[in-house]
Amino acid sequence: MKMRGARAMVGAAALMAATAGAGLADACTRLVYHGASDTVITARSMDWRSEITSNLWTFPRGMQRSGETGPNTVRWTSKYGSVVTSGYDISTTDGVNEAGLMANLLWLVESEYPTFDPSKPGLSIAAWAQYALDNFATVSEAVAALEQEPFIVVTDNLPGENRLTTVHLSLSDATGDSAIFEYIDGKLKIHHGRQYQVMTNSPTYDEQLALNAYWSQIGGTVMLPGTNRAADRFARASFYVNAIPKFEDPNIALASVFSVLRNTSVPFGISTESEPNLSSTRWRTVFDHKRKLYFFESALTPNTFWVDLKKIDFSPTTGRVRKLDLGKDQIHTFSGDATGDFVETRPFTFLGLQL
């Protein structure tokens, strides 16, 4: 699927979509756990109204990439190999690289990206997370580069839908550092620091922090908001990710983080007519940055499996693009270490602009 040139001028359109489509936003939750013995675990849920084609992919170093926005697009060669979860097999919506950096895209209906100027380098929003994974080893390194705004993020309609993709990006690394990247009113805003452990959806991150400050004063042992709204999930995740013990056993720490993520998930099949932005959780990923284990859990399968990045050949000469086919609604069942179940295949093409 290719973007149509008529959609290149996206700034004003994104604002209209944010206003008209606020009730259509899909939801997710992301959190970072700081544990014992330098254990850092990042977890996220993917909440979506309808079936989203998601598969796991491994990408070696040395891949030639394009921002897919025309002749003046950003081009780069991947410095790091990565394991990613695709969205519709046209974008990277979640993933980790061999250096221990994790990237997550979550919905933010208030997003408004700069107006695209074809004379300036552009980057398809579908490749935003992949750009970070390909180029940076740490959050600090990514912030230093991206705050210079070396490209314009270009968005377009979701596959099969008449609404623009409006997302914000989170990054976390093996040190526990974290950053949130949002485009508000056409301007890039970055929240950088270990304290930014949790991200959900609307409202903007500044407002999420303000709402969470209220619940922090009350105290999570007294009362926590229990609905599926983004602000409520933010409050619960913020409390629990710091309330759970810092277990020395990495497997117990991992299980504890999974339990927090499930606490902020939306039961499968939940649909509220008056609240269409509340979407069922379809899958969850959890990354142990220290052990470099990337866990995946589908809402429709009875078990969790993982990918061991230490076992993957990311070499630019002998490494290969491989895919783990998760099936419709991620219904295929895998057990334990699924690193060896990937099959060599052609890489997917990022959704791009055809001028």
- b/e burial code for range 192-221 (CB count within 10 A of at least 16 → b): beeebbbbbbbbbbeebbebbeebeeeeee
Cα–Cα dist 50/345, whole Å: 26
Radius of gyration of the chain from Cα atoms? 19
How far, CA to CA in Å, does 159 sit from each of 18, 51, 53, 114?
Answer: 18, 11, 11, 22
Structure tokens that stand for 285 in this block? 């990923």
Scanning the structure block, which residue is given the tokens 């303000």?
210
28 catalytically annotated: yes
Cα–Cα dist 331/342, whole Å: 16
The answer to whether residues 307 and 56 touch, using CB atoms and an 8 Å cutoff, is: yes
Angle between helices 230-243 and 250-263 (to 10 degrees): 160
Cα–Cα dist 295/287, whole Å: 6
Burial of 328 (0-12, 13-18, 19+ CB in 10 A): exposed
Scanning the structure block, which residue is given the tokens 């959609």?
7
Catalytic one of 17, 25, 28, 158: 28
Instruction: Show which residues are catalytic.
Output: 28
